[in-house]
Structure 1
Amino acid sequence: MIDTHPISFNGITPTPAWAFHQYEQIRRWLPAGLPTSEQPGPVTLEDMAPLADRFQVYVFDAFGVLNAGPRAFPAAIQRFRELQRMGKHVQILSNAATASHAKLVEKYRRMGFDITPEQLISSRWLLEQSLSDRGREGLWGVIAPENSEPDTLPLDWQPVRPPVTEQLKRKLDSYDGLIMLSSEDWNEEMQAALEATLTERPRPLEIANPDLVAPRGDCLTLEPGFFAHRARQASGVQPQFYGKPYAPAFQAVLERFADVPPGQILMVGDTLHTDILGGQNAGMKTLLVTAEGSLQGMDIPRCIAQSGIAPDFIAPEI
């Protein structure tokens, strides 16, 4: 299947340096994080082998840690299996929202990660839990490709998909709220229409995936979080985000392992502003992976100094 997530927008082609700068630009809209005096001094490792017996629970981000797009990292598959053989609890905590929970579990099983549905928490799942717990009134527009199975969402909805037409604009104006599952097929015209309708009549905007970018092989794609923050700047509407770095994503992990102290949980991710920031706020220990993720090729100590977000450990891969 051809990936249709945007790799450019209004002349912007995302790079790791650009993405880091964008996260810094929206820093005030992210969780506060630990004060400087409480930031750890990162320990650099070749991989996470020295940590394999140190924690009770290992929580892995997906893109940039386990895989890049459809390509799984062989070393990640091996480490995942090793931890399972050791009797450790392993969990995937992903901001993925295009695929339904069942399809996402199936995807990682095909890649070689032997997980059950209970070992995956996605931002799509978190959104669906919120919709189930607190129903949304009225008719909602859902931004998602057809293959994302938005019919799993427990609310009254209609699809919002390109191209922009007068009919689409009228529909956008009529919705009681908007949900963005995916940035697939999103473009400048659709973004302009979204910003215009929210500016004209502010309404709830719920974003399943807070990521600005995602590593997909040899490029970074622009993700829903990027477009949501642009819409916020244009309209003043504050989006409701699900997934990392926001507390509900990490609270879901803590609830699944209520008998495990947070300090006995290791959050492994490739992004300082999502995986590491959110894990720290939840009291978890953190490992930053640098070889193929969103910080690939960056000066990591400088990024840590600029952001004020320091992981407990740093390794090129797991």
Structure 2
Amino acid sequence: MLTRDAAIDRYNAIRARLPQASGPAAWSSANNLGALAAEYDVFVFDAFGVLNVGATPITGAHARIQALQAMGKQTFVLTNAAGLTDAQTTAKFCALGLDFEALEVISSRQICLEGLKRSFDIRRWGVICPACGLPDLPGIEFVDLITAPDGLDDVDGIVLLSTTGLPDTWCDGLEVALRARPRPVVVGNPDLVAPRETGLSKEPGFYAHDLIDRLGIAPVFYGKPFANAFEAVERRLTPGFPAAKIAMIGDTLHTDILGAAARGWGTVLVTGHGLYRGANVDQLIEISGIVPNWVIPSI
């Protein structure tokens, strides 16, 4: 687990590696999303820290989504959780009592696998994804590097989908293998941390940026804050849909807010449950230079 201050410091340290965006000169505050419903037609929710904390749903999230849907608003989940299959992801939200159809849940895993098919000519990938199903793509072999770490020598690329439950030392072997034979590294979850019931877990993005520092490599990231995540939502909307009528609701400045601002979306920072719970949010915004349109404690 990582402390909040350490996570925030790390996000600020890697800021130059993330998309560039301009936001409003100042932000506004509201009690919840109800006050903003008239401003936007599409509401895109981050999951961790907005809808749930770990496996626990956030009180009122289900009712808010139902209210928005009853008003005719389109609702989506855009999550960087890449350790679950599409069916498992949809089932997770159903178990949390959240009313999302399968097409409304967009994960960075989906986006990553599309990227592997479209952008790489590699037929044997090593996958870091403990306790989750391997991807299934025609013509591509995936090797589970958790159960078969010796497979590192035999794969032509590395995919980081999940690091849940792994000790910090797991990445040492990967570093040695990449020094010996550099290969493409693809990251299906750019988050540095995720809020859990017991604290902040280190996510694939945390280790990917460590590898950048150590090896000077250039991983390919799929998920927020990178454009490929937001484009996946936009493709589900009417062509030419105005970006300013889309709201991204998230708990992290450097992923949810930054990436959405780079696309011209409206941005809503949720502070009561995730990374910034109990923090001086005004100070965090000032230090990061990433300014949301709105700040609310909960949806």
TM range (shorter): over 0.9
- Partner residue of 1:245? 225
Conserved? CA contact 1:210–1:242, under 8 Å: yes
Cα RMSD for the two superposed structures: 1.5
Q: 1:275 to 1:198 in 2, by over 3 A?
A: same
**CA, structure 1 residues 234+153, in 2 after alignment: closer, same or farther (shift >3 Å)?**
farther
CA gap 1:234/1:270 in 2 versus in 1, 3 angstroms: same
Q: Conserved in 1, the CA contact under 8 Å of 2:247 and 2:266?
A: yes
2:39 counterpart SS class? coil
Deviation at 1:131, TM superposition (A): 2.5
What residue in structure 2 maps to residue 4 of structure 1? none
Q: How does 1:132-281 map to 2 (within 5 A)?
A: 132-134=117-119, 136-146=121-131, 148-154=132-138, 155-161=140-146, 168-169=149-150, 171-257=151-237, 258-281=239-262
SS in 2 for 1:53: helix
C-alpha distance in 1 between matches for 2:88 and 2:168 = 29
Q: How far off its partner does 1:71 sit?
A: 0.4
Q: 1:105-116, aligned counterparts within 5 Å?
A: 105-116=90-101
Greater Cα shift, 253-262 or 15-24:
253-262
Stretch of structure 1 that moved more, 184-193 or 282-291: 184-193
Contact 1:211–1:225 at 8 Å: present in 2 too? yes
Number of the residue aligned with 1:291 = 272
2:105 is the counterpart of 1:120: yes
Q: C-alpha offsets along residues 174-211 of structure 1, whole Å, 9 cap, x if unaligned?
A: 21100011002322332110111112211100010000
Q: TM-score by structure 1 length?
A: 0.90
- Check the 8 A contact 2:126/2:143 in 1, yes or no: yes
Q: After the TM superposition, which residues 88-107 of structure 1 pair with which residues of structure 2 at under 5 Å, given as runs?
A: 88-107=73-92
Deviations 1:36-58 (Å, cap 9, x if unpaired)? Answer: xx534110111111112221100
Determine if contact 1:68/1:216 at 8 Å carries over to the other structure: yes
How high is the TM-score relative to the length of structure 2?
A: 0.95
Counterpart check, 1:66 vs 2:46: no
Which residue in the other structure is 2:17 paired with? 29
> How far does the alpha carbon of each residue in 1:95-116 deviate from its partner, in whole angstroms, 9 at most, with x for none?
0101011110111012111111
Query: 2-side partners of 1:136 and 1:108: how far apart?
Result: 34
| Maintained 8 Å contact 2:164/2:201 | no
CA distance in 2 between counterparts of 1:176 and 1:17 reads 36
Q: Distance in 1 between matches of 2:253 and 2:158?
A: 28
Q: What SS class does the counterpart of residue 190 from structure 2 fall into?
A: coil
Q: Which residue of 2 aligns with 1:3?
A: none
Please give the alpha-carbon distance, in whole angstroms, between the structure 2 residues aligned to 1:189 and 1:123: 25
Shift of 1:218: 3.6
In 2, Cα distance between equivalents of 1:90 and 1:168: 40
Q: Give the superposition deviation at 1:138.
A: 3.5
Structure 2 residue aligned with 1:282: 263
Unaligned runs of 5+ in 1: 1-6, 8-13
3-state SS in 1 of match to 2:159: strand
SS of residue matched to 2:77: strand
Q: Percent identity?
A: 39
Give the CA deviation at 1:128. 1.6
275, 281, 299: which is aligned to 1:300? Answer: 281
Please, which moves more after superposition, 50-59 or 186-195? 186-195
- Output the CA distance in 1 between the equivalents of 2:167 and 2:124: 24
Shift of 1:168: 3.1
Aligned equivalents of 2:87 and 2:118: distance in 1? 20
Q: How many Å separate the matches in 1 of 2:290 and 2:103? A: 30
Gaps of 5+ in 2: none
